[in-house]
Amino acid sequence: MNTPTNDVYAREVVMARVGHLIRRKQREIERITRILRCFFDPSQMQAPEPGQIKRIMLIGPYARRNWYEDKRTIGFSDYELWIVVSHPLFTDERCWRRARSVIRSELGDRCAVDLEIYSKSDIRVAKDERDSFILDRIDAGITLYRASRDAPLRRRGRGEPRS
């Protein structure tokens, strides 16, 4: 019996959200998303609330569908991901150090990954101030993960990263 995709994490859900990309790019983006979710380390900060990733978004050329890859010159677009967390303290680099390290070790030179970390309050302020830089990118971006919608990761299941 197949498990419904909304009961437990299914990589196909993330890959379908970037279905306009070639299969290899879909797998890389899914892998990056899973690594971020697995290795986000809120225990590095003492905060008044539990640390949580609220949203992971793909922005930039891969979301706008104008990415490039030139094997002759080894030029390619970076993956640009924006992560929204529950509290400003969780934007601290210490919470993301391990995730960045795992991404570098697993994906190596195949792709460059740029991460921007925002808190929910950062996004709220951007909306209040009508910050077009942030709002335009959010509107054009592709949500890869949203805490209120997507299933949790299984704990160290087959194929999942280990701490």
- Among 74, 85, 77, 41, smallest CA distance to 59 is for 77
Q: Enter the pTM of the model.
A: 0.82
Q: How far is CA 124 from CA 50, 90, 131, in A?
A: 19, 16, 10
Q: 99: how many CB neighbours lie within 10 A of its CB?
A: 21
Tell me the pLDDT of the chain (163 aa) as tens digits.
Answer: 443 334 456 778 888 889 888 888 899 999 999 999 999 999 999 988 889 999 999 998 888 776 656 555 455 678 999 999 999 999 999 999 999 999 999 988 778 899 999 999 999 999 999 999 999 999 999 999 999 888 777 654 444 454 4
pLDDT in tens, 98-126: 999 999 999 887 788 999 999 999 999 99
Question: What does the alpha-carbon distance between residue 5 and residue 9 come to, in Å, rounded to a whole number?
Answer: 7
Question: What does the alpha-carbon distance between residue 74 and residue 95 come to, in Å, rounded to a whole number?
Answer: 32
